[in-house]
Structure 1
Amino acid sequence: MASPTPLQGTELVDCARANAKQGIETAARQCGFGEDLNGFSQALKQACESMNLQVKELSELITDDEMILQMGKGEIVAPDSASEL
């Protein structure tokens, strides 16, 4: 569900990360920026800098684990909960 207002800070970074695989247009829309790609990019850079993250492109927010799964070269194997080790 897209945010009705532009997200800021960690909420923006989390939303952008969750939508990074779908591209910048989708991520901007989901994060409440609509078609304002420049505003989205600037806000995301500021949010990342405040979190001490060095991110130049949206694709850098995709984690290595997500990229491996996307390429189909592996899967993450983990217990359902911490008590099921």
Structure 2
Amino acid sequence: MASETPLTGVVLIDCARANAERGLAIATKQCGYGDDTESFQAALKSACSDMGVDIEGLSDLLESTQQPTRPIGIEVAPETKSDL
């Protein structure tokens, strides 16, 4: 459910983080900024800065498990199911 008024502070960050995976336009709308993505991004950067966190954009709020990563190590498995 989208907020009727623009969110600020920690509540804005929580809302933005919850909607970050869905994209900038949806996160902007859900956080109460309608179609004003510039104001949303400015408010989000300000809220994060107030908490001592520097972000470049909404994608910085994605959890590390949501961001594509390269697997670490190698996979060890049999070549066929019969060679277990």
* TM value normalised by structure 2: 0.77
Runs of 4+ in 1 over 6 A off after TM superposition: none
Q: Which structure features the higher share of helix residues? A: 1
**Whole-Å Cα distance in 2 between the matches of residues 63 and 52 of structure 1?**
18
Aligned equivalent of 1:59: 59
Aligned equivalent of 1:76: none
Counterparts of 1:1-85 in structure 2, within 5 Å, are: 1-67=1-67
* TM value normalised by structure 1: 0.76
**2:63 is matched by which residue type in structure 1?**
T
Cα drift, residue 67 of structure 1: 3.1
Question: How many residues are aligned here?
Answer: 70
**1:40 is matched by which residue type in structure 2?**
F
- Sequence identity (%): 46
Gaps of 5+ in 2: 72-84
